[in-house]
């Protein structure tokens, strides 16, 4: 099939302007072994790692078009776990800069994540009210904990008590879970409002919870002994006794910490050693609390008792009158550190304690900037000071307008506060000018000045070289929605909310800031004419032949006037809602309008007839512009998508990956090679034209396939007959369905191959897997399934396929002992899910007995081999060390010893770990 018309594809090039998304948290990370300098933040669907000292991006981790919702670095600082809005968790490696594993854990956005002490397990909570514990080494889910009735706000492992997870939720409850039994053994129901955060302090001695009020509840955690439980009375007492007996510890509230900030607690953050707790509310303040060690608390208690005894003697009262004052209290355990006053509302923050009692606090703000503070914890009256700020690389608020320079090298963007000039090649900020609320921008011919229209109706002339506002013109009484240059490049036309269209010409006047004798000229605008209309003007465009001017009005019509006489020519009506954007083609024959009714209409300029009406977007069409010297145009809408259209054939050419949220505006470069868009996710997205040709039929087929691939053929729920309450620690994905299809196809092809007499002819599918026999073919299919999808894929198999798969296991165990672990996973899962039908099937009885014997033998052999290798290497190490007098593998043993010492130190007392902070 020949090409009827060739189009060239546009590809995304870069995202810029965003410093830190408002949805996810911030985390200190280690890059190149350096701590305290690098932070990881979310940038819409990407993860950005910033060097706070230099203010530069050093790393970017990208997945698909899903927004990042949570970040958590691993304890060894080598990996970063990233949660997304679709419930998927990706593990990225700082060394390879690639994703190392994926967990399909939740059915909605991930809201909390934490590793255990050594980083082998990961617990995550989501907006689907569930907790999922994942095995990082096996790269698969371990268990799903169901019991909360609201979104999870925090989840973490306990260090002192093995396999215990603590979680908080919007259902006002704090729950303690046992991973082995997959059940909740203790619930705290003291709170009357949502619990927004919990923190385990000082090696699990204290649990701090923050809720909707201005107090933090403090709970004491102590090991449960038979003598510690008092005799209860009544039915409620019996329940409490039973609850305490099944719990390995007691958790009792010992007091509250009164916060000095206002509003509810938003975040509770603990530094790595569990000594310093940070929290913030809805105000501009971060509060810090220091938890003393046991020895320090006893010293403080002794000093307080001495003062109390001295006071009692002076007052001549009984010193033992108040026993409560003579016991350890929160006053002895906790010290309030100086609060940090920040310039704007805090979104999230992270803490890092260094070797010289230096505490680093990295804060992200709602207004798209990052600030790093430092505080000396040891000093008595220390004050926090800001040492690094990353602010200039992005707008504080959403960008509303973008424009290209005439040479396509610079981009101007306007937001609610300022105008920024960007380099298109490097995506770096060149100039920032404080202007006010910008709603429209336009470069002046020569690219030395930018015209800026404000929400107040003012028209600003900005000098790019100096970054200053030359002149403020009160152009309109209300919003200045549109600025367009005249075709002769000698003036401009503006349209505003005061129902007028004004015509201006460029003039060079003497600089008012210089002397009268000075010959320095500056650009100014001279008002020439005005067109008064009956409705608010939303958009203005002028045809390239200087013949017509089109004006989009609030009454959902577009009126076209003659440019020279301003007499009425045509009225385009047909849109149900106001036209927000429009453009006229280079040959002045077509005008395209985009409306809030989601449609794009293509009109002829000669008679005003509507050539075609297209339902273009899922929401309002916000931006629209022709590619110069073509009848191709781009459109963007509140659905976040960017689409390319052909105004001659009325076909959509391609849909490009757009914004996470709404798209506000777009601009096409004068050379037609670049497109830039802005949106509510605070990103500026740049697209570039490639030399790759597009065929519309192929593009449409790919879009249909993608739509089909995104819908599960077997439904969302994982159901098995006889197991109605099945809750796997994974969710059904497209990958799991494809994996199940591959297994079924493999079994079918293998059966046909074994039944045929001609064994020399290998089936094409088996050849594609590079397998010469059915055993290798089956194992190749199983090993290529992603670890997190394996259980869901096996769950989708019909029981007949399960029986056929189990019959192949004994031979597989003998021939491929190198894959014993994978075979064990498959067999154990199938036995657990299909236990009753397998037991009731008499034909499978000899197969099961054979599987048990051979698998046990394979596992024993594998264990013996690992043991022999391990002890053999130890013997070789001792021989080499004895002969050479040096320690073999010194770095490895040194690292292991340091980890052991650190673990013992944490178990004995919460002493500070050494963290080297680079200044």
Per-residue three-class SS string for 249-261: EEEEEEEEEECCC
> Do 415 and 534 sit in the same domain of this protein?
yes
pLDDT the model gives residue 315? 64
Cα separation, 632 vs 7, in Å, equals: 10
> Do 423 and 477 sit in the same domain of this protein?
yes
> Do 781 and 684 sit in the same domain of this protein?
no
Mean pLDDT of 224-246: 52
CATH number for 500 = 2.130.10.10
| Residue 61 belongs to a domain | yes
| Residue 62 belongs to a domain | yes
| Residue 1 belongs to a domain | no
> Do 681 and 816 sit in the same domain of this protein?
no
> Do 675 and 774 sit in the same domain of this protein?
no
| CB 44, CB 683: distance < 8 Å | yes
> Do 740 and 680 sit in the same domain of this protein?
no
Domain that holds residue 527: 399-511+520-624+658-700
388 falls in which pLDDT band (50, 70, 90)? very high
Residue 716's H or E segment, with its range, is none
> Do 694 and 795 sit in the same domain of this protein?
no
Which contacts (CB < 8 Å, 24+ apart) does range 694-700 have? Answer: 694/6, 694/7, 694/8, 694/9, 694/653, 694/654, 695/3, 696/7, 696/651, 696/653, 697/1, 699/653, 699/654
> Do 668 and 567 sit in the same domain of this protein?
yes
Buried b (16+ CB within 10 A) or exposed e, 570-590: bebebbeebbbbbbbbbebeb
Mean pLDDT of 331-337: 88
Mean pLDDT of 658-678: 94
Residue 350 confidence (pLDDT) above 80: yes
| CB 152, CB 168: distance < 8 Å | yes
Q: Give the tens place of pLDDT for each residue, 13-35.
A: 999 999 999 889 999 999 988 88
Token pair in block for residue 85: 């809005």
| Residue 38 belongs to a domain | yes
Cα separation, 420 vs 412, in Å, equals: 6
Residue 3 confidence (pLDDT) above 70: no
Cα separation, 83 vs 75, in Å, equals: 17
> Do 668 and 535 sit in the same domain of this protein?
yes
> Do 664 and 773 sit in the same domain of this protein?
no
pLDDT the model gives residue 460? 94
Residue 374 confidence (pLDDT) above 70: yes
pLDDT the model gives residue 232? 44
| Residue 790 belongs to a domain | yes
Cα separation, 90 vs 786, in Å, equals: 13
Mean pLDDT of 469-494: 93
What percent of the chain is modeled with pLDDT above 90? 55
Residue 36 confidence (pLDDT) above 50: yes
Token pair in block for residue 528: 């020439």
Those residues with Cβ within 8 angstroms of residue 780's Cβ, 6 or more apart along the chain or in another chain: 769, 770, 771
Mean pLDDT of 578-584: 95
| Residue 754 belongs to a domain | yes
Cα separation, 219 vs 266, in Å, equals: 19
Cα separation, 108 vs 88, in Å, equals: 9
| CB 44, CB 85: distance < 8 Å | no
Q: Give the tens place of pLDDT for each residue, 766-784.
A: 888 888 888 888 888 999 9
CB atoms within 10 A of CB 15: 21
Domain boundary, last residue among 648, 679, 700: 700
When mean pLDDT is compared across 129-133, 221-225, 676-680, 781-785, the lowest value belongs to 221-225
Strands in 79-84's sheet, in edge-to-edge order, are 68-73, 79-84, 88-93, 99-104
| Residue 739 belongs to a domain | yes
Q: Tell me phi and psi for residue 672, to 5 degrees.
A: 75, 10
496 falls in which pLDDT band (50, 70, 90)? very high
pLDDT the model gives residue 312? 72
> Do 532 and 596 sit in the same domain of this protein?
yes
231 falls in which pLDDT band (50, 70, 90)? very low
Residue 598 confidence (pLDDT) above 50: yes
Residue 804's H or E segment, with its range, is helix 799-815
Query: Structural domain tally of the chain?
Result: 3
Residue 911 confidence (pLDDT) above 50: no
When mean pLDDT is compared across 52-56, 179-183, 314-318, the lowest value belongs to 314-318
| Residue 327 belongs to a domain | no
Cα separation, 807 vs 848, in Å, equals: 9
pLDDT the model gives residue 518? 62
> Do 45 and 117 sit in the same domain of this protein?
yes
Q: Give the tens place of pLDDT for each residue, 838-854.
A: 888 888 888 888 888 88
According to DSSP, the residues that pair with 634 across neighbouring strands are: 625, 644
Mean pLDDT of 367-382: 89
Mean pLDDT of 892-904: 72
Average pLDDT of the residues of the chain: 87
Cα separation, 655 vs 628, in Å, equals: 20
Q: Which of 305-314, 326-335, 362-371, 907-916 has the highest mean pLDDT?
A: 362-371
Domain boundary, last residue among 813, 845, 877: 845
Domain boundary, last residue among 146, 166, 197: 146
One-character DSSP codes across 582-603: EEE-TTSSEEEEEETTSEEEEE
318 falls in which pLDDT band (50, 70, 90)? low
Q: Give the tens place of pLDDT for each residue, 125-166.
A: 999 999 999 999 988 889 999 999 999 999 999 998 888 999
The closest alpha carbon to 367, from 49, 14, 19, belongs to 19
């Amino acid at each position: 099939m020949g090409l009827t018309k060739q189009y060239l594809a546009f590809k995304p090039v870069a995202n810029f302007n965003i410093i830190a998304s408002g949805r996810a948290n911030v985390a200190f990370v280690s890059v190149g072994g350096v701590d305290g300098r690098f932070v990881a933040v979310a940038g819409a669907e990407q993860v950005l790692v910033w060097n706070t000292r230099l203010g530069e991006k050093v790393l970017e981790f990208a997945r698909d078009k899903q927004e990042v919702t949570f970040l958590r670095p691993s304890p060894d600082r080598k990996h970063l776990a990233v949660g997304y809005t679709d419930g998927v968790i990706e593990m990225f490696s700082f060394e390879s800069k690639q994703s190392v594993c994926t967990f399909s854990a939740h059915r909605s956005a991930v809201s909390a994540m934490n590793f255990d002490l050594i980083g082998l397990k990961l617990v995550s909570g989501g907006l689907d009210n569930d907790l999922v514990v994942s095995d990082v080494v096996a790269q698969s889910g371990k268990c799903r904990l169901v019991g909360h009735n609201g979104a999870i706000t925090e989840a973490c492992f306990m260090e002192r008590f093995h396999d215990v997870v603590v979680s908080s939720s919007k259902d006002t409850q704090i729950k303690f879970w046992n991973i082995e039994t997959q059940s909740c053994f203790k619930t705290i129901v003291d709170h009357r409002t949502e619990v927004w955060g919990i923190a385990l302090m000082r090696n699990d001695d204290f649990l701090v919870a923050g809720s909707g009020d201005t107090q933090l509840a403090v709970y004491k955690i102590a090991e449960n002994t038979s003598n510690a439980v008092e005799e209860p009375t009544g039915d409620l007492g019996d329940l409490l006794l039973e609850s305490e007996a099944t719990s390995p510890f007691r958790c009792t509230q010992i007091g509250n910490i009164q916060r000095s900030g206002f509003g509810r607690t938003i975040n509770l953050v603990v530094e790595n050693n569990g000594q310093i707790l940070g929290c913030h509310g809805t105000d501009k303040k971060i509060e810090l609390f220091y938890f003393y060690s046991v020895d320090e608390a006893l010293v403080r208690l002794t000093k307080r008792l001495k003062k109390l005894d001295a006071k009692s003697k002076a007052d001549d009262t009984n010193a033992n009158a108040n026993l409560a004052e003579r016991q350890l209290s929160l006053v002895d355990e906790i010290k309030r550190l100086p609060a940090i006053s920040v310039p704007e509302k805090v979104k999230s923050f992270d803490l890092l304690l260094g070797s010289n009692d230096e505490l680093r606090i990295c804060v992200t703000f709602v207004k798209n900037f990052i600030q790093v503070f430092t505080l000396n914890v040891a000093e008595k009256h220390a004050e926090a000071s800001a040492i690094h700020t990353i602010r200039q690389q992005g707008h504080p608020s959403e960008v509303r307008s973008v424009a290209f320079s005439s040479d396509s090298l610079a981009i101007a963007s306007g937001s609610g506060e300022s105008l920024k000039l960007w380099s298109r090649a490097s995506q770096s900020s060149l100039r920032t000018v404080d202007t006010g609320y910008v709603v429209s921008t336009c470069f002046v011919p020569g690219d030395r000045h930018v015209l800026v229209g404000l929400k107040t109706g003012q028209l600003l002339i900005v000098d790019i070289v100096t970054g200053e506002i030359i002149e403020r013109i009160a152009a309109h009484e209300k919003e200045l929605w549109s600025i367009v240059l005249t075709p002769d490049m000698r003036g401009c036309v503006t349209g505003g909310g005061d129902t007028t269209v004004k015509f201006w010409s460029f003039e060079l006047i003497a600089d008012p800031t210089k002397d009268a004798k000075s010959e320095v000229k500056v650009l100014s605008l001279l008002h020439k004419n005005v067109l008064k209309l009956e409705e608010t003007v939303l958009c203005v465009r002028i045809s390239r032949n200087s013949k017509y001017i089109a004006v989009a009005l609030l009454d959902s019509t577009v009126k076209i006037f003659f440019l020279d006489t301003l007499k009425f020519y045509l009225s385009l009506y047909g849109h149900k809602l106001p036209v927000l954007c429009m453009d006229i083609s280079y040959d002045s024959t077509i005008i395209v309008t985009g409306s809030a009714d989601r449609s794009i209409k293509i009109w002829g300029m000669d008679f005003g007839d509507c050539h075609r009406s297209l339902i273009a977007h899922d929401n309002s069409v916000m931006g629209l512009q022709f590619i110069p010297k073509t009848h191709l145009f781009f459109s963007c809408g509140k659905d976040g998508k960017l689409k390319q259209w052909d105004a001659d054939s009325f076909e959509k050419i391609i849909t490009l990956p757009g914004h996470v949220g709404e798209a506000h505006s777009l601009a096409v470069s004068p050379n037609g090679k670049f497109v830039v868009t802005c949106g509510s996710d605070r990103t500026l997205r740049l697209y570039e034209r490639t030399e790759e040709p597009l065929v519309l039929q192929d593009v449409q087929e790919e879009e249909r396939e993608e739509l089909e691939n995104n819908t599960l053929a077997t439904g969302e729920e994982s159901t098995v007959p006889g197991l109605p309450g099945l809750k796997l620690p994974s969710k059904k994905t497209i990958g799991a369905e494809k994996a199940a299809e591959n297994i079924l196809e493999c079994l079918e092809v293998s059966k046909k191959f074994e039944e045929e007499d001609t064994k020399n002819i290998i089936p094409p599918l088996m050849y594609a897997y590079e397998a010469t026999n059915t055993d290798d073919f089956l194992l190749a299919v199983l090993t290529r399934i992603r670890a997190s999808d394996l259980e869901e894929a096996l769950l989708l198999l019909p029981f007949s396929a399960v029986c056929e798969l189990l019959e192949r296991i004994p031979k597989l165990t003998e021939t491929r002992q190198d894959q014993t672990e994978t075979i064990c996973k498959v067999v154990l899962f199938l036995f657990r899910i299909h236990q009753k039908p397998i037991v009731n099937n008499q034909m499978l009885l000899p197969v099961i007995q054979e599987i048990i014997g051979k698998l046990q033998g394979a596992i024993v052999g594998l264990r013996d081999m690992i043991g022999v290798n391990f002890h053999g290497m130890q013997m070789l190490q001792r021989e080499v060390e004895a002969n050479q007098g040096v320690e073999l593998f010194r770095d490895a043993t040194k690292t292991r010893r340091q980890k052991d010492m650190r673990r013992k130190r944490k178990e004995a007392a919460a002493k500070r770990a050494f963290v080297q902070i680079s200044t």
